Amino acid sequence: MMSLDSQLKTIIDAIPILAWSMRPDGSIDYFNQQWTEYTGMPIEQALNWGWKVAKHPDDLPRIFEVFERATESGQPFEVEGRIRRRDGVFRWFLVRGNPLRDPTGAIVRWYGTDADIEDRKRAEDAVRATEQNLRLIVDNIPGFVWTMMASGEVDVVNQQMSQYLGTTAAELKEWFSFLHPDDRQYVVERWRKTVATGEPYEVEYRLRRYDGVYHWFHCAGSPLRNRDGCIDRWYKLLTDIEERKRAETELARAFEEIKRLKDRLQDENLVLREQIDRTQMFEEIVGESQALKVAVSSVARVAPTDSTVLLLGETGTGKELFARAIHEHSLRSEGPFVSVNCAAIPDSLIASELFGHEKGAFTGAVQRRLGRFELADGGTLFFDEVGDLPLDTQVKLLRVLQEREFERVGGIRPIKVDVRVIAATNRDLSRAVSEGSFRRDLFYRLNVVPIEIPTLRERRDDIPLLVHYFVDRYGRKVGKKISEIDDGSMNLLKDYSWPGNIRELQNIIERAVIVSDSPILNIDENWLSQPLLVSETNSHFEPFQKISPEMQKSIIETALRESGGRVYGPTGAARKLGIPRSTLESKIRALRIDKNRFRSEAFVDEGD
């Protein structure tokens, strides 16, 4: 008589579908003959966990998850998965499993079947595709709906779109001809990229109505794919956004106006910050010398007028301080005070800096910019180092002074301004006029009220007052209490020639306060060891600005040659000449000296 297992195996083999039995731990201990014949796997290979190779790898995680839940709960289970036929083709099966329990209720074995559901799955896919088609159409209504084949040919257009275009799908082979000419290239390129990637897309463009009027539309396109993942057709929905576009245009105009006002406010804030910074640099005019009183008296007389003022004096004498004093005591004191250093701006940018520029006027002009003249409208414009202005800019400046109007760089509309001009220079403009480097007519326009600003050498009596003023100022700034100045240091300061004038004194005192560890301020004599200007052809000392340009050029070139082309530093030409680095740089540019040439000469000398 056959054992129970043998009888069960005989029964399972007789089942006309794929069947199997599984141990409580989930491992398979038997497959019927139909299963092994279908898969082509010997039963010895399929037992335990060998059966996994017959399942589609994408389905295994889901099948194992169902198995684990079933073994934990002890409940019957169902799961769909693909099984590979002996010829390598996968077909869908419905896997069902039921537990077998002993009298105590414990599971001793699982029995299951695999039923072929391939035909049902295909039918479901077909229904799903139909449902997807209907869903896309329904979701895109109301609106202009049209479909395109994967090749790009128009397939179907709904009634609303046909009425809008005044044509049918058959007449839409050249659909891009209905696009606005300005949008056509972009939309066609966008469509080609979309076809290449197969991704949904959105785009906005203008579409021509049957009467020739263009309206803005938002187009959303989605692909429909078959079960192999290939695109069968495209579904597109067009929504009229003409009103939204008009609102956006009006909003953009409003934002542009806001931006213009914001830029104007930023420019005015920039001027205000510059005024604050400059005012903090020179808080007040300090001194009681006769030379200073003469200059201050001239300022007091000319300030209430609207006359052009020309401030003359060496570098570092405080010409901008006097210019601000004129502005603050004028009828324009409530207006802006705008300063421009003509020597610090490259020749190629000076016109844009003074007169502003329009967007696109030159490379890098990404937006319109107001110039210093517009920023100073209603106030005062201070030209520092006006003698360094290029000749072509001098012509434009003369026109503004004469006609009170100008055009921005790249602009064609004249702009009226009401500006008082104060100019300053450390050059001899009369000599510059005779040499042709400064326009005579501009000189006469600027030289209405000339005021000489005295050098620190001419007002040595003011040095103690200035020293105490700067000591107090920088002492409070760094948190130090300095009660007195060493007598030797004060005498040293009085006897020094001060080629850099008040600015140099200010820097010396600031440095001394910073390094001081005592309430008594001391000045290191080495800080004042710069020699006065001497030349081989001129053995006596004389102020640098009174030497002819030819002489200045010769002296500077000699100093550059001796310093190997170095302008600043312990061995630089500025230290040799005893003038500030900024002054020497300005002179080098004005006299068109190639300082790099002396570096080359130094290299050759070292090589020799």
* CATH number where 363 lies: 3.40.50.300
Residues 6 or more apart in contact with residue 200 via CB below 8 angstroms: 220, 221, 222, 223
Same domain, 487 and 550: no
Element (H, E) at 313: none
Same domain, 288 and 408: yes
Same domain, 211 and 188: yes
Answer yes or no: is 430 within a domain: yes
Residues 6 or more apart in contact with residue 356 via CB below 8 angstroms: 368, 369, 370, 371, 373, 374, 408, 409
Structure confidence at residue 304 (pLDDT):
92
Residue where a domain stops, chosen among 452, 480, 495: 452
Number of folded domains in the chain?
5
Answer yes or no: is 298 within a domain: yes
Residue where a domain stops, chosen among 116, 139, 171: 116
Structure confidence at residue 46 (pLDDT):
85
Same domain, 407 and 376: yes
| Residue 280 confidence class, pLDDT cut points 50, 70, 90 | very low
Closest CA to 98 of 81, 77, 68: 77
Coil/strand/helix, residue 85 = coil
Answer yes or no: is 529 within a domain: no
CATH number for the domain spanning 112: value is 3.30.450.20
Same domain, 262 and 212: no
Answer yes or no: is 61 within a domain: yes
Q: Is a pLDDT exceeding 50 seen at residue 532? A: no
Answer yes or no: is 595 within a domain: yes
Closest CA to 426 of 343, 505, 326: 343
Residue where a domain stops, chosen among 523, 553, 580: 523
Whole-angstrom distance, CA of residue 366 vs CA of residue 258: 17
Average pLDDT of the chain to the nearest whole number: 81
Structure confidence at residue 607 (pLDDT):
42
Q: Is a pLDDT exceeding 50 seen at residue 331? A: yes
Contact 40, 86 (CB under 8 A): yes
Answer yes or no: is 532 within a domain: no
Answer yes or no: is 539 within a domain: no
Residues 6 or more apart in contact with residue 472 via CB below 8 angstroms: none
Same domain, 235 and 351: no
For residue range 475-499, list pLDDT tens digits in order. Answer: 888 888 888 888 888 888 888 888 8
Structure confidence at residue 536 (pLDDT):
34
DSSP strand pairing (154-157 vs 144-149): antiparallel
Same domain, 161 and 189: yes
CATH number for the domain spanning 498: value is 1.10.8.60
| Residue 2 confidence class, pLDDT cut points 50, 70, 90 | very low
- Tell me the Ramachandran region of residue 356: left when phi exceeds 0, alpha when psi lies from -120 to 50, beta otherwise: left
Same domain, 469 and 550: no
Same domain, 394 and 419: yes
How far is C-alpha 130 from the chain's CA centre?
Answer: 51
For residue range 139-151, list pLDDT tens digits in order. Answer: 456 677 777 887 7
Task: List the domain range (segments joined by +) for residue 361.
Answer: 258-452
Same domain, 130 and 110: no
For residue range 7-48, list pLDDT tens digits in order. Answer: 777 777 777 889 888 888 878 888 888 898 898 999 888 888
Whole-angstrom distance, CA of residue 471 vs CA of residue 286: 13
Answer yes or no: is 253 within a domain: no
Same domain, 317 and 443: yes
Same domain, 440 and 340: yes
For residue range 150-206, list pLDDT tens digits in order. Answer: 777 787 777 778 778 888 777 777 777 888 999 888 888 888 888 888 888 888 999
Structure confidence at residue 270 (pLDDT):
54
